[in-house]
Amino acid sequence: DAGVIQSPRHEVTEMGQEVTLRCKPISGHNSLFWYRQTMMRGLELLIYFNNNVPIDDSGMPEDRFSAKMPNASFSTLKIQPSEPRDSAVYFCASNPGQPMNTEAFFGQGTRLTVV
Amino acid sequence: KQEVTQIPAALSVPEGENLVLNCSFTDSAIYNLQWFRQDPGKGLTSLLLIQSSQREQTSGRLNASLDKSSGRSTLYIAASQPGDSATYLCAVRRTAGGGNKLTFGTGTQLKVEL
C-alpha cells in the first residue's frame, strides 16, 4: 500500500478563498483523522471519522471549517473563507479502527499558506 | 482533558551518546502510547507502539518504556547517530470511551552532531 496520500502537498491562497484539502486513507482502514500542526499549538486533532461517520469534530476551530468522508477511500477538509491564521500544515491519518491497539499512519501533510 | 508534555523541548548531543526523551500525560486511562519521528517538512513516521498493558517495546536502537500509573513514558535511543536528528513526538490514545484519537505532546527536537 502507498500509505496515506494527501493532496496537494503545498497550497498558497489568498485570504477569503476556499481551500480544499484531500486525503486517501490506507485501504481497509476504518478510522480517518485530520490534524493541524502549527509552531504555537503543535498537533491538534480537528476531526475524526469512523466508518465514514464523523465521531468527534470538537477540534474544528470554526464554522469556516468542514470535513466530509463520502466513502471509505476519500476525505476532504474544506476551509471557506480562508484566513491568514489558518496557515499551518494539515495532516491526515488513518488506522484500522478496530482493534484499538493498532498504529496510526500519517500522510505527508499539506502545507497551507494563506496570504 | 488529557495533556501530554515532553521534556526537553530541544536536545543536542554528540554522536554515539545514549539519550532519553521523556513524555508525561495527565490522564492514565490510556489504551496505548505511540512514539513518532518527524523530519523537517515531512509527515510523521511511527517508531513504536506500546500498549497500556506493556512495560516496554524495542525496535533496533530504540526502546520505549511505559509507566501508566505515573503517567510517564521514555524513549531511549542507543548510540545516537546524525541520522537520528529529528523531532520526536509521543501521543496517547484514550480508552475506548474516549474515542479512537491521539493526543500529542509538543515534541522534542533532537540534534545529533558529528
Task: With a cut of 80, say whether residue A25 has pLDDT above it.
Answer: yes
pLDDT tens profile B49-60: 999 899 999 999
What pLDDT does B102 receive?
86
pLDDT at B98 over 60: no
- Say yes or no for a CB contact (<8 Å) between B100 and A95: yes
- Please list every residue in chain B whose beta carbon sits closer than 8 Å to the beta carbon of residue A88: none
Look-up: residue for cell 513524555? B23
Cα(A37)–Cα(A53) distance, rounded to whole angstroms? 23
* Alpha carbon distance, N-terminus to C-terminus of chain A: 36
On whether the CB atoms of residues B35 and B47 are closer than 8 A, the answer is yes
Q: Which residue of A has its CA nearest to B89?
A: A43
Q: Say what the pLDDT of residue B48 is.
A: 95
| CB within 8 Å: B106 and A91 | no
Q: Is the pLDDT of residue B21 over 70?
A: yes
Task: State yes or no: pLDDT of B100 exceeds 90.
Answer: no
Residue B1 to chain A, least CA–CA distance (Å): 13
**Average pLDDT value for chain A:** 92
Calculate mean pLDDT across residues A53-68.
91
Per the DSSP assignment, residues forming a β-bridge with A13 are A114
Mean pLDDT of B70-74: 96
Nearest CA to CA, how far is B77 from chain A (Å)? 20
Length of chain B counted residue by residue: 114
Q: What is the pLDDT of residue A108?
A: 94
Residue B37 contacts A, CB cutoff 8 Å: no
Whether the CB-CB separation of B68 and B56 falls below 8 Å is answered with no
**Amino acid making up residue A70:** P
| pLDDT above 60 (res A56) | yes
Interface touch B105/A42, C-beta < 8 Å: yes
Torsion of CA B22, B26, B28, B30, to 10 degrees: -80
With CA atoms as reference, the chain A residue closest to B54 would be: A101
Q: Which of A56, A8, A51, A13 is nearest to A35 (CA)?
A: A56
Average pLDDT over residues B8-20: 96
pLDDT of residue B95: 65
State the DSSP code for B70. T
Grid cell in block for residue B99: 474515542
**pLDDT-derived band at A13, boundaries 50, 70, 90:** very high
Residue B24 has pLDDT above 80, yes or no: yes
B94/A44: higher pLDDT: A44
Task: Say what the pLDDT of residue A10 is.
Answer: 96
Cα torsion angle, B3, B86, B33, A89, sign: positive
Q: How many CB pairs under 8 A join A and B?
A: 58
